[in-house]
Amino acid sequence: MSLNLVSLVGRVGGEPDVKYFESGSVKCRLTLAVNRQTRNDDQPDWFSLELWGKTAEVAANYVRKGSLIGVTGALKFDQWQDRNTGVDRSSPVIKVDRLELLGSKRDNETSTGSAPDEF
């Protein structure tokens, strides 16, 4: 048996980076700060998130820098080759399957109305 499941709750570190593809697909990238309590002081851990489809559209419309969100997804590694050195590189990314908007309705409201709670 194997399991690849990540659940995080934290605050969004910047505005959503949204890309629309000719195929009709939508991709959204976010960063998420999750507080980690240590003995001396709180240190945030930063995670890169990748959302697709309807979940990406919801994030693009309702999530802003500082929004409190919960996500569930799987850990994957983006891999590429450095253009300058030719060295193989990788970066961990959470591929989000489920997004929950956890702030108050006032935090999640836009000019078009209030946001749904879960996707």
* pTM beyond 0.85, yes or no: no
Is 57 part of any domain? yes
The pLDDT tens digits for 26-81 are 999 999 999 887 777 778 899 999 999 999 999 999 999 999 999 999 999 999 99
Q: Reduced to 3 DSSP states, what percent helix, strand and coil does the chain have, rounded to the nearest 5?
A: 10, 55, 35
Q: Which residue has the higher pLDDT, 82 or 36?
A: 82
Is 65 part of any domain? yes
In the chain, what is the straight-line distance between the N-terminal and C-terminal CA atoms, in Å?
27
Q: Residue 17: which domain range?
A: 6-105
Is 98 part of any domain? yes
| Cα angle, residue 33 at apex, residues 65 and 5 outer, rounded to 5° | 115
pLDDT for res 118: 56
CATH number of the domain bearing residue 66: 2.40.50.140
Is 1 part of any domain? no
The percent of residues above 70 in pLDDT, for the chain, comes to 85
Residue 34 and residue 56 in contact, taking contact as beta carbons nearer than 8 Å: no
pLDDT for res 42: 75
Is 93 part of any domain? yes
